[in-house]
Amino acid sequence: MKHHIFIISGFTLIIYPIFFLLFNLENIFPEKFDHKKTEKLDYLSKKTKKAPDGIDYNLNYFLKDYLQPKKSSYNTNLFLASVGIVPAKVQKPEFVKGVYLTSYLAANRNVVANVINSAKSGKINAVVIDVKDHTGYLSYNSNLPIVEEYKTEYVIIPDIKGLVDLLHKNNIYVIARMPVFQDYALSLARPDLALHDENALSLYKPFQNYYSVFTLWKDRKGLHWLDPSSKEVWEYNLQIAQELTQIGFDEINFDYIRFPSDGDLEKLHFPVWDYKKKKEEVVREFFQFLNGNLRGKIYISADLFGLTTVSYDDMGIGQVIEYGFENFDFVCPMIYPSHYAKNFMGFENPAEHPYEVVKNSMDSAFQRLKNGNYESKLRPWLQDFNLCAVYDKNLVQDEIRAVLDSAKGREDLLDGWLLWDPSGYYSI
């Protein structure tokens, strides 16, 4: 009997890695979006007959250079920063109106041209760019030794400094977005810092390499997560943020700064967290870590679940909006009506009632911000993608109107709004 068990276990150890690789290849690359929308400002495919001022179609950050990426030219700025000279930035707009771009969109010349045209027309004045997306891979040429060591770079924008400079030249406020604890790349490089599947661990327990890529836990999207308690994870992300500061970004926007919310949570194993400290305290300490190391050197903002505006517990993910107010210049609750549960505020489909949902959430958030007398402002993410409803210009304008109406009499607490649609079609 023991002989048979040994054979089966050996077979499992051979087959499991093969299946793991086969079923995870697609997760190595960022998602591809194929939303088809009407009445949208199509940053992805709309052509410009004439390039805006400052656009050089030979600049090496464009996607055509991707196959032979060049080292970015920001080394001079790294030197300047080392002697106390900070790269030129754009003055933050009094009221931010921004859109999100994946790294692939930001590397597309037509997209950049249309973003600049939108800024010139006054529709937007800011852009949020993925520099480290949901896969964890950096989308630019990094000079960090730790990135080279872990091989966590997948260059999509070869000259990130050139892109930032071009946007600055056109008076666009540039925000770097970086997810933190959802990180496929670092999980593969350092499985000892990642979350694991209890069942898979039980198979590998007799062997020396207890934590391996074959025991990593996956969320609903098939992505891996890092342990939010790990100080090594904190330091790794801090180094990236400091490099982005030196490159010349105006602000760093932190996303996925929480514990996992979906997937088989019962099977979660944390290699660092001892379960004694509450999740909300773990996340709060990370917020304080970012505050202490970055705030005052560069603007920092936090993406939080939209429900943090109306919830008074951490919802099992460690996020409490007051802890965001304590530590960030701007708190960005993701108030996507499609993400609110059926019958929220009595609506069968909250996505069809953007004004009411957004205003309710912002009313609560403003009150909590005012009560604590925090040195922070609100800048919500708003839905501009189709989910549970077709988000055309009217629905998006309803969201923006809700934000402005909620801010009446407390305008000093509002910093603006951001629109989210990974496909690059915006209703503005």
Would you say 152 and 137 are in contact if contact means Cβ atoms under 8 Å apart? yes
pLDDT band of 42, cuts 50, 70, 90 = low
With b meaning 16 or more CB within 10 Å and e meaning fewer, what string describes 356-374?
bbbbbbbbbbbebbeeeeb
Asked whether the predicted pLDDT for residue 10 surpasses 80, the reply is: no
Q: What is the pLDDT of residues 239-285, one digit of tens each?
A: 999 999 999 999 999 999 999 999 999 999 999 999 999 999 999 99
Asked whether the predicted pLDDT for residue 83 surpasses 90, the reply is: no
The predicted model gives 320-336 an average pLDDT of 99
Q: What is the pLDDT of residue 43?
A: 54
Q: What is the pLDDT of residue 206?
A: 65
Least confident of 61-75, 104-118, 231-245, 357-371: 61-75
Asked whether the predicted pLDDT for residue 173 surpasses 90, the reply is: yes
Q: What is the pLDDT of residue 356?
A: 99
pLDDT band of 57, cuts 50, 70, 90 = very low
Q: What is the pLDDT of residues 189-199, one digit of tens each?
A: 999 999 999 99
Q: What is the pLDDT of residue 87?
A: 58
Q: What is the pLDDT of residue 62?
A: 39
How many folded domains does the chain comprise? 1
pLDDT band of 23, cuts 50, 70, 90 = very low
Number of alpha carbons in the 13 Å side-chain half-sphere of residue 61 = 27
Question: Average model confidence (pLDDT) for the chain?
Answer: 85
Domain of 16 in residue numbering reads as 2-426
Q: What is the pLDDT of residues 193-222, one digit of tens each?
A: 999 999 999 887 766 567 999 999 999 999
Q: What is the pLDDT of residue 88?
A: 65
Domain of 247, CATH number, reads: 3.20.20.80
Q: What is the pLDDT of residue 39?
A: 42
**11: number of Cβ within 10 Å:** 10
**20/127: higher pLDDT:** 127
Least confident of 87-101, 251-265, 321-335: 87-101
Q: What is the pLDDT of residue 338?
A: 98
Asked whether the predicted pLDDT for residue 13 surpasses 80, the reply is: no
Q: What is the pLDDT of residue 428?
A: 84
Helical H segments across 144-273, by residue range: 145-150, 160-169, 184-189, 198-204, 231-247
**CA distance linking residue 295 with residue 248, whole number of Å:** 15
The predicted model gives 368-372 an average pLDDT of 97
Asked whether the predicted pLDDT for residue 411 surpasses 90, the reply is: yes
* Strand spans (E) along 93-193: 96-101, 126-130, 138-140, 153-157, 173-179
**26/358: higher pLDDT:** 358
Would you say 37 and 423 are in contact if contact means Cβ atoms under 8 Å apart? yes
The predicted model gives 177-195 an average pLDDT of 98
